[in-house]
Structure 1
């Protein structure tokens, strides 16, 4: 069911010069090369309103929720819900902010053992969504979607399918069928992570390859694919003209046994990448050779405080726009770990902030850089925190926003 989300094309459209600024800055943001102050520039280029799209799981969530961000208080106001697609668990915006793409984390699309990927046009005046089309993800349970900084392809990680798919974007923003499907193979890691805290029962996915994230590096030349099952991040050369992947040399970086690589994020300088390990609850700090597409682990730190014992599943990782701080989410411990980043990207643990909810699956900072939002899939809410840009600290605003099973938030400025 669609709840009045079919905006009129062109009504109240922004001026062409603003669109050009948004496209250029947006492309840098997607590529991971947004410079210090870039988020604020993106917000300024987008005018006076900031909207948020929240993906959910359909068992309690109702689809893609559209909310408005109060730039002064951090409050979220619910506007509309688009419920035509099931379990849109991961979302991504096109670089020009004209389209939104979502995976449906299902396993039975059109009777096949696969999920699906949907494309939406965004009304430039209201942020309303209009469904363009839906295609197969070419694997079961797609859990993450990434975007080419040129806006020509999306990349899907199929968790149960154990593969990654490349989908070309047509000129009208809709999706073509996959131009390439890349399966994962390799020896599986142990059931229990070698570096997990004492007493941990964080066991989730070493029975088979499980693709967790697929996205390009800042140069757009190499695709990184995190696989929990083999404890590897695979690297592929990306042919933008053909939309195909070729195994790189070196073909992967190996995490610790059982660590379970989940998500990664690049430092703004493009020479350092951070990989979050779900089952070990650790962050790998990696040097990145952009010419060769090679990752080398230089440092590994726990996302948990010293002395912690028990089970935790790390969830999300993000780097501040200026590269000075790195944040990592902890499910069950229910905190955001805060790290200070040195000039060479090395991390120092600063502490953690309680998220005020249960099972924080995802978090992100809005484009102005003032507020961080945490999505809790078990307590069915979003909490907001003021960001201290000098210390990296987080202060709870006291605000809760109830949404069933939220899983991903992305921001749009109008």
Structure 2
């Protein structure tokens, strides 16, 4: 005879099932600019409410403004935007091991192979760190050891060419966003989702470089064509994101304050321009600089940051990858460098550099619209924040 399983559940068990999940305190690290910021700060954030605790200094490092986790989040890499590393005019990259309580311990340092390291990313394989050096216009690839420390760069590429147009043709009327079209200025480097291709932007030359990536050695080789030009003269390509589902890339142009989309050929590793729209409100006149860009996990909402205008622009993305401006929300601070999602995507945090604070917005699950949450947190000259997920 087959014995029937009991369907009895105790009252205590029912109560446990009905109780909400207990909130966790998530560690998040914030990179800052000197002289106000002393290095990398640690804050703890409530996983349910998104509330931020007062940050504390976790690592003293000059201009440790850019940072990224390794694949398993046991190590953080920080770019130090100094100009005198070991007697050179270059910056430094510092690797820190991360303890469970959030303490950072230095593992090693390497030469950034250029001046002004402003962007770090991890290759999808987890085996390489990619960096972009803004002042010198160079990019570099570093193998990552098993303990998370960095080896010397295995591939270094230096941009050369004619500077882009000083005045951005597509900028808003009255704009004086005229900076840095005086030579090469690499601003970002990152892989496509497959890891077979790498892209880097050069604001000074108005170029988006297309690279083939050797996943065994880390060597970069030019694709065909080696680069494409920005969507308009003097636009100043800065940061980009890939669509999580479609073969699309979205890129912000810093000087022109334009968002441009590209069809991505996943077999050839090349981009084809598709659409461009201003990230500023209709009718805006004056100067503004695009800075940050993020996209949600479903690929339906994309957000960009406008410095000087001090706003976050929300774009809706349709099933064809085309986008339209939905809203502009005040950042509640000055000169916002970057924005980042909470791990669950329910909040967006903004780093307001000149007003020395960090703020958060709740994200509507259906529409993607942002609502400011009253929770200002003082941080000296914040640049970027990363979460432990």
Matches within 5 A, 1:273-312: 273-312=249-288
Q: Distance in 2 between matches of 1:212 and 1:67?
A: 27
Where relative contact order (Cα < 8 A, 6+ residues apart) is larger, the structure is 1
| Equivalent in the alignment of 1:406 | 382
**Pairwise CA RMSD:** 1.3
Q: Distance in 2 between matches of 1:270 and 1:392?
A: 19
SS of the aligned residue for 2:212 comes to strand
Matches within 5 A, 1:7-406: 48-78=24-54, 80-123=56-99, 125-255=100-230, 256-406=232-382
SS of the aligned residue for 2:60 comes to coil
Q: What's the CA shift for 1:49?
A: 3.2
User: Residues 118-167 of structure 1: CA distance to partner in whole angstroms, max 9, x if unpaired?
Assistant: 111111x2222111011100100110101112211101100011110111
Q: What's the CA shift for 1:270?
A: 4.8
Q: Distance in 2 between matches of 1:246 and 1:371?
A: 38
Q: Distance in 1 between matches of 2:101 and 2:211?
A: 38
Aligned residues: 367
Q: Distance in 1 between matches of 2:192 and 2:125?
A: 13
- Does the 8 Å contact 2:54/2:378 carry over to 1? no
Q: Distance in 2 between matches of 1:259 and 1:370?
A: 32
Q: Distance in 2 between matches of 1:240 and 1:49?
A: 36
| Equivalent in the alignment of 1:38 | none
Using structure 2 for the length normalisation, give the TM-score. 0.92
Q: Distance in 2 between matches of 1:410 and 1:392?
A: 21
- Does the 8 Å contact 2:336/2:350 carry over to 1? yes
Higher alpha-carbon Rg = 2
Q: Distance in 1 between matches of 2:128 and 2:219?
A: 10
Unaligned runs of 5+ in 2: 1-20
- Does the 8 Å contact 1:158/1:212 carry over to 2? yes
SS of the aligned residue for 1:77 comes to coil
- Does the 8 Å contact 1:88/1:104 carry over to 2? yes
SS of the aligned residue for 1:110 comes to helix
Q: What's the CA shift for 1:79?
A: 5.2
Unaligned runs of 5+ in 1: 1-43
SS of the aligned residue for 1:369 comes to coil
Which piece of structure 1 moves more, 324-333 or 94-103? 94-103
| Equivalent in the alignment of 1:25 | none
Q: What's the CA shift for 1:346?
A: 0.6
| Equivalent in the alignment of 2:3 | none
Using structure 1 for the length normalisation, give the TM-score. 0.87
Q: What's the CA shift for 1:334?
A: 0.3
